[in-house]
Amino acid sequence: MPEASGAAGVIEEFLIRQRKMYAGGDLGAVGQLLAEDVVWHVPGTSPIAGDYGGRAAVIGYFDLRRGLAGGTIRVAVKGQAHHQEALVQLADGRARLGVNDVVWRTAGVYRVADGRIAEAWLVPLDQRHFDQVWAATRPAPFVYVQRVRPQARAATTAIGHPRFLEFFEAAFIESWRESFDPMDATLEPDRRLTVAALNVRYLAPVRCDVELRIDVALDRITQRSIQVHYDAFVKATHAAEAGSRYVCLDAGSGEPTSLPDGIGRQTKQPAATHARQQGGKMTETKSQQTNRFWGNPDSMLRSATVVFLAALLLHGADHMRRGMHAFSTTVTVAGSVQLVLALLTALLVFRRSWWAPVAAIIVGFASTIGFIMVHLLPDCFGPFSDSFIHAPPASRVTGFSWFAAIFEIVADIAVGIAGLRVLQSRHGATSGQKVVR
């Protein structure tokens, strides 16, 4: 225990131990400064949000944060005020979450009793930013799609709160089936799940006869409960965001009980950011090392699009150098159409539209075929040809022309592959999809 008296001394010692713990040190040393019935409040919708009650749960929260950040969390205190039993502290946090280095600012409010932390509130100064940066640590979601059918005698064509809850429940059940087999089989007759907490934020109306897509992430699985996050979309429009906590109950007594073996002890963490502890030091998994190099699919698509635009600019510069007389009007028109489609694709990518990977695949691979036909094959396509093979001197084809064209083709292929990778991450083996018509 710290020798300094009052809340300031306890928190100062706590922060010293916490820094060591986040770098891969002992969790038990931090636990010594927590009251047995400590409560830790983390607001918001991020994977770490929630109210953690009891020393074991709070230590589990610290371990969760450490694992999601791969041991990269750093906290810098910016100012504080305190009296004998409480302390308020302004601090900046830094970590590598997903594939990005991020910063957030929080106010920490600590209540100290009998030389230990009895209660704490983590208050982000920008809640939306805090939720977004920690959301990057989620694994690829389970995707559930359902056609919204009209109901008899409905008063409106827009769906309301009760139907949304039905869709969320159906999405969770299918996600459970994908992760653990059917719910009845895994829970067995002596257990059942019930909703203990639910928070929904509606962002846009959802009307009948549209396809509603719900992305489901199992944020935390503890011994007795499951924290679930939902994002609902209609095409590219974010329609709702929700979080629910399910508690496992004994079917006979109705009292809380443990989840079945193989579920209650699992805490699903994203392969891209999960780290394991070896010999007191945090070491990256192979998946984390791979993603640190390549980036996640969406980041890869944005990077490929930047290269794609650079190649487009370089190829356009070569056309300007050669002069408009060097190729046919048909080639000029085709190139202008490709430029417009490329810019529209880039706009979709950087606005993070749901349709961005589709556009990247179509425009990327179509451009690849087009540039090969126009520049790299013999002059056999009439007005569609601007072949560099045996090009006459008047066409002003140089080594730079060859480089620009080949660079453009490679960039086109890269953006198409990046688009495919995003679609695979949505619908591949790591993120099941249930479509209900």
Whose tokens are 């050669």? That residue is 322
Per-residue DSSP letter, 140: P
Name the residue ranges covered by the structural domains of the chain.
6-135, 142-268, 297-427
Q: Is 112 within 8 Å of 86 (Cβ atoms)?
A: yes
Q: From 3.40.1350.10, 3.10.450.50, 3.40.50.720, 3.40.50.150, which CATH number describes the 6-135 domain?
A: 3.10.450.50
Q: For residue 4, what pLDDT is reported?
A: 42
Return contacts of 256-259, CB within 8 angstroms, 24+ apart.
256/224, 257/191, 257/224, 258/223, 258/224, 259/191, 259/221, 259/223, 259/224, 259/226
Which of the four pLDDT bands, split at 50, 70 and 90, describes residue 352?
confident
Contacts of 8 by beta carbon, 8 Å cutoff, 6+ apart: 80, 82, 87
Q: Please state, in angstroms and rounded to a whole number, the distance separating the CA atoms of residues 389 and 397.
A: 9
Which tokens belong to 41?
């409040």
Helix (H) or strand (E) segment spanning residue 66: helix 55-68
pTM of the model: 0.59
What is the pLDDT of the chain when averaged over all its residues?
83
Mean predicted confidence (pLDDT) in 350-365: 88
What end-to-end distance do the CA atoms of the chain give, in Å?
61
Helix (H) or strand (E) segment spanning residue 252: none
Q: Which residue has the higher pLDDT, 289 or 316?
A: 316
In terms of Cα–Cα distance, which of 74, 81, 139 is closest to 104?
A: 74
DSSP of 258-303 = PPPTTTTT-----TTT-EEEETTEEEE-HHHHHHHHH--HHHHHHH
pLDDT tens-digit readout, 44-92: 999 999 899 999 999 999 999 999 998 899 999 999 998 888 999 999 9
DSSP-derived 3-state class of residue 392: coil
Q: Please state, in angstroms and rounded to a whole number, the distance separating the CA atoms of residues 77 and 19.
A: 12
Instruction: Count the helices and strands in the chain (H runs, E runs).
Output: 11, 14
Q: Is 268 within 8 Å of 222 (Cβ atoms)?
A: no
Beta bridge partners of 275: 284
Contacts of 242 by beta carbon, 8 Å cutoff, 6+ apart: 164, 168, 198, 199, 200, 201, 229, 230, 232
Mean predicted confidence (pLDDT) in 360-379: 86
Contacts of 58 by beta carbon, 8 Å cutoff, 6+ apart: 31, 34, 38, 39, 40, 52
Q: For residue 213, what pLDDT is reported?
A: 94
Q: For residue 381, what pLDDT is reported?
A: 67
Q: Please state, in angstroms and rounded to a whole number, the distance separating the CA atoms of residues 333 and 164.
A: 48
Architecture category of domain 142-268 in CATH: Roll (3.10)
Q: For residue 393, what pLDDT is reported?
A: 82
Mean predicted confidence (pLDDT) in 203-210: 89
Q: Is 176 within 8 Å of 186 (Cβ atoms)?
A: yes
Q: Is 97 within 8 Å of 69 (Cβ atoms)?
A: yes
Q: For residue 430, what pLDDT is reported?
A: 36
* R_g of the chain, CA atoms, integer Å: 27
CA distances from 287 to 98, 225, 274, 277, 424 (A): 11, 27, 8, 15, 16
pLDDT of 36 over the 80 cut: yes
pLDDT tens-digit readout, 233-277: 998 899 999 999 999 999 999 999 999 887 854 444 433 333 333
pLDDT tens-digit readout, 303-342: 899 999 998 888 888 878 887 766 677 777 888 888 899 9
Determine whether 409 is exposed, middle or buried from the number of CB atoms within 10 Å of its CB (0-12, 13-18, 19+).
buried
Q: Which residue has the higher pLDDT, 143 or 269?
A: 143
Mean predicted confidence (pLDDT) in 15-27: 92
In terms of Cα–Cα distance, which of 149, 157, 46, 62 is closest to 104?
A: 46
Q: For residue 387, what pLDDT is reported?
A: 74
Mean predicted confidence (pLDDT) in 159-188: 89
pLDDT of 370 over the 90 cut: no
Rounded percentage of the chain residues whose pLDDT exceeds 90 = 50
